[in-house]
Copies of this chain bind each other. A is one copy, B any other.
Amino acid sequence: MGGEDLSKIISLTQIKVACKDCNLFQLCLPVGIGDEDLELLDRIIRRKRPVRRGEHLFQVGDRFQAIYAVRSGSIKTFAPTEDGHEQVIGFHLPGELLGLAAITAEYHPCAAKALETSSVCEIPFDELEQLSEQVPSLQHQLLKVMSKEILHDQSLLMLLGKKSAEERLAALLISLSDRYRQRGFSVSEFHLSMSRNDIGNYLGLAVETVSRLFTRFQEEGLLTVQRKHIRILDLPRLRALATNVRPAPSRLSQA
């Protein structure tokens, strides 16, 4: 079944995302930063050695010193709950940032863990801040990135607050697909680096429910799934599932 694309898909984990395809580069790109300023930004970024599956980028309570950009692989962020369990906050794909929530707190309120072998850029925050004083457009873009994070969280709020299990899983798959598209990867075929457990945790569902949904989606011809390999067959219908809210909860709420 379409094994020809497999090499491209599998190699995704090895591909290094160039800075120009990275969200972080949007810190300068749209406002037309000069090469010298770009050079300055590039200079403060540290490129860490790859982290292996299961390794932590930072732990809860670690002192906040830097934000991170994913170059390859994938990272999950999660926070401990009062009873010793965890809540998955997000999955971070190549070109995306992590650690933004810590800026206010001086220490990290959540932990970050590699879902597979990954590489990241570490951007020391105080240096970034100093640099942004010299480069106003950088400061503006920093705010933009934070604002985008707020937007993302709020759309997730809507997901968890209003949507059914079916809609939640569909929404996650669509989100992954869209984000892969932005990075130039396949929209319809990709690797789920996170476990069913992580997915259920993230979506506020039991693992069993996630499993059953994958089975149902497959029966309905929406996708095929083999372990962690996903192939979306009917993207429009999946998207409709993800965006549509339930049949209609009685009457109109006050506008």
Contacts and interface: CB of A to CB of B under 8 A. Distances in A.
Contact of A81 (B100, B104, B162): B162
Nearest to A85: B253
Interface of A: 79, 81-87, 89, 100-105, 109-110, 129, 132-133, 136, 139-140, 142-151, 153-154, 156-158, 160-162, 197, 201-204, 243-245, 248-249, 252-255
Nearest to A129: B140
A124 to B, nearest CB: 15
Identify whether the interface residues of A are mostly helix, strand, loop, or mixed. helix
A49 B22 CA distance: 44
Copies of this polypeptide in the complex? 2
B82 A245 contact: yes
A87 B162 contact: yes
A140 B125 CA distance: 11
Nearest to A204: B161
Given A146-B147, A244-B83, A89 B253 contact: no
A162 B151 CA distance: 21
A78 to B, nearest CB: 9
Contacts of A139: 129, 132-133, 139
Given A82-B244, A86-B253, A161-B204, 20 more contacts: A79-B154, A82-B245, A86-B255, A89-B154, A101-B147, A103-B143, A103-B144, A103-B146, A104-B144, A109-B151, A129-B140, A132-B139, A133-B136, A143-B143, A146-B146, A153-B154, A160-B161, A161-B201, A161-B203, A162-B204
